[in-house]
Amino acid sequence: MESLRHKDRNKSFLEEITTIDPALITRYLSGDASIEEMNEVLSWLRKGKENQTDFNSMKKIWIESKVILLNQCDKSENAWERLKYRTSYIQTEDNELQPRRNIFIFYRVAAVMLILVSIGFVLYFLNPFRKKSAGVMAYNEVVVPYGAKSIITLPDGTKLWMNSGTKIRYANNFGEISREVFMEGEAYFDVVKNPKKPFLVRTGYINIKVLGTAFNVKSYPDENFIETTLDRGLIEITKEKGSDSIITIRPKEKITYLKFSKQLSVVSQKKKVVEDRIEQVPDKIPAKKAQPEFQICQYVNTELITSWKEGKLIFERERLEDIVKKLERRYDVVFTFDKSELKNYRFSGSLPELTLQQVLEGIQLSAPILYKINKREVVINENSMYKESYKRWVK
Amino acid sequence: MSKKKELQLKSFVITEFTFKTIFSDYYIRLCLYAETFVSNSSSAEDIVQDAFFRLWNKKDDLQIDVSIQAYLYRTVHNACIHFLRHKKVSEKHGEYQKIKLQEAELLYYSTLETSSKAILAEELQHIILDTVNSFPEKTKEAFLLSREEDLKNQEIAERLNLSIKAVEYHISKALLSLRKALNDYL
């Protein structure tokens, strides 16, 4: 077998030339090597700097070839959210953080939903619907509190699935001149087609223009990002303020907008990882990624993203910390972790519409945790008995 | 390496926009890199998270003469050493961790060199893909199974109906060919 020595022309005379069985390196990298073999690799590494450089190169190849085969979009997206949360928290520390759920606190009593019809110039001055049409405008506001879900039909026949903690607002004359909805939270829109009156969803940061289509928008005020996922049709994304650029989104694409940096940008995913992965890498490498404020993921699992509509919970290797956020909204509870490392357990699974207890039982089966429900509070403890055996399953 | 690339790698002023780009370019790579030392993916992710968090906080006074990726690799590498030195493990895993720590300490200086010399990832990946595609069928299969699903050699051997020795031969061959193909880049 060949030996690990290619860089002949760069070879330093001072360095001792030693060879090693490449299979040993392979075993070391794949974790198949025994302790003795690992020590053998170590002493080879000690023999010269060039061996170390060689080893580093092999490791780099090992890593890069893995990166190619991974669909990195979701993993780094989640991590990005986590990081954004940490950095934004620090940024706003001086400005006194508002309690998470202050907006909905008044509506907590309402069992399912509350329709407010408010007439007024207050809204007229405050909200983004303000248009040429002068005078007093009336608005309908639909609020779905934590712990509830709702389906509503707008005057034009457009159907809306509203997730927990979601608020929408539309003018009384909705559909007369235009179709505009302002929203906060998460909703799935099934928009009735009307090319003459495009449907516009406003989030305060970005606007989504629709001709007739179905899509999911996630835009909670306590999260640093807005996610729009297209199920079918075609939508156009523009920003509320600043640049006029339009980003067109196709089905199965998810566009994420980051609120904290208010610049327009597009990052297209580098690779399309589909079935026959190796052959599928596009010929053209995307040009410059100059605008990282928006990120588009292709071939996302729309079923997963819209599963909340049917009351289903579907997770794909999701961190417990992110799962808990969804559960807090859905069941109107607050979670606390006994140990912060518990937040990192990943969980995959599909659960039908269940009670909070049933969901937690399910998670408890596949992660070393124990839960305790105390009225509106849920405490997650470590299950130390279970921990060791769990470690053996997940590397 | 061309002047242009060098510029791209080195003289970054980190703004919020470039930060996200850096993040999506390096997050997975750094996680996999950290995993080669700490062999636990969630600890690896935490280490990388912290590295980015520190980069973010330091972005305004980061020295421009340090390439961002060298900085990130170094931060992650240090954190792995710290992790390995301080993490308490059972007797059984102690030996393994000791070796990993020695590896991390030994490679301390050579890592910086390798990581700062890196070419653009897309270019590297293209070469890898081309090379992998040129492999004989068995070599390709064995290598892809090992990389894609992180299978142990034993499992690959079972799936491909080969001996473990043969699997090792194919994977080593694949690695060496890639090493050869990337000789000018690594």
Between B102 and A76, the more confident residue is B102
pLDDT at B65 over 70: no
- Distance in angstroms (rounded) separating the CA atoms of residues A95 and A79: 25
| Of the listed ranges A89-93, A178-182, A288-292, B151-155, the one predicted with least confidence | A288-292
Q: What is the crossing angle of helices B121-133 and A49-69, to 10°?
A: 80
Is the separation of the CB atoms in B37 and B43 below 8 Å? no
- Distance in angstroms (rounded) separating the CA atoms of residues A218 and A183: 9
- Residue A173: left (phi > 0), alpha (psi -120 to 50), or beta? alpha
Which residue's structure tokens are 């280490």? B47
pLDDT at A63 over 50: yes
pLDDT at A41 over 50: yes
pLDDT at A113 over 60: no
Q: Which residues of A touch B125 (CB under 8 A)?
A: 64, 67-68, 281
CA dist A31 → A183, A204, B9 (Å): 50, 50, 32
Phi and psi at residue A163, to the nearest 5°: -85, 170
Provide the pLDDT for residue B47.
Answer: 93
Provide the pLDDT for residue B34.
Answer: 93
| Of the listed ranges A65-69, B58-62, B107-111, the one predicted with least confidence | B58-62
> Residue-wise over A257-293: b if at least 16 C-beta within 10 A, else e?
bbbebebbbbbebbbebeeebeeebeeeeeeebebbb
- Distance in angstroms (rounded) separating the CA atoms of residues A289 and B8: 12
pLDDT at A107 over 50: no
Would you place residue A115 in the very low, low, confident or very high pLDDT band (cuts 50, 70, 90)?
very low
* Pairwise CB contact (< 8 Å): A69 & B24: no
pTM for the whole structure: 0.47
Searching chain B, which residue's CA lies closest to the CA of residue A75? B28
Q: Which of residues 114-153 of B touch A (CB under 8 A)?
A: 114, 118, 121-122, 124-126, 128-129, 132-133, 143-144, 146-148, 150, 152-153
Is the separation of the CB atoms in A215 and A188 below 8 Å? yes
Burial of B86: CB neighbours in 10 Å, binned 0-12, 13-18, 19+: exposed
| Of the listed ranges A153-157, A160-164, B25-29, B122-126, the one predicted with least confidence | B122-126
Is the separation of the CB atoms in A296 and A269 below 8 Å? yes
Q: Give the single-character DSSP code of A103.
A: G
Model ipTM value: 0.85
Which residue's structure tokens are 């999260």? A223
Pairing of the two strands A166-171 and A159-162: unpaired
* Pairwise CB contact (< 8 Å): A69 & B148: yes
Interval B33-55 mean pLDDT: 88
Q: What is the crossing angle of helices B108-116 and A49-69, to 10°?
A: 50
Interval A349-369 mean pLDDT: 80
Would you place residue A90 in the very low, low, confident or very high pLDDT band (cuts 50, 70, 90)?
very low
pLDDT tens digit sequence for A324-351: 888 888 888 889 888 888 887 777 777 7
Sign of the dihedral through C-alpha B53, B54, B57, B60: negative
pLDDT tens digit sequence for A136-160: 457 788 888 888 888 888 888 889 9
Provide the pLDDT for residue B171.
Answer: 93
| Of the listed ranges A83-97, B57-71, B116-130, B151-165, the one predicted with least confidence | A83-97
pLDDT at A93 over 50: no
- Distance in angstroms (rounded) separating the CA atoms of residues A134 and A376: 46
* Pairwise CB contact (< 8 Å): A6 & B18: no
Q: Is A106 helix (H, G, I), strand (E, B) or coil?
A: helix
Q: What is the mean pLDDT of chain B?
A: 78
* Pairwise CB contact (< 8 Å): B178 & A90: no
Helix (H) or strand (E) holding A316: strand A313-319
* Pairwise CB contact (< 8 Å): A67 & B28: yes
pLDDT tens digit sequence for A201-210: 998 888 999 8
> Which one of B56, B133, B173 has the shortest CB-CB distance to A87?
B56
Q: Which residues of A touch B45 (CB under 8 A)?
A: 79, 344
Q: Is B2 helix (H, G, I), strand (E, B) or coil?
A: coil
pLDDT at B172 over 90: yes
Interval A166-173 mean pLDDT: 86
Is the separation of the CB atoms in A285 and B127 below 8 Å? no
Is the separation of the CB atoms in A188 and A306 below 8 Å? yes
What are the respective helix, strand and coil percentages of chain B, to the nearest 5?
Answer: 80, 0, 20
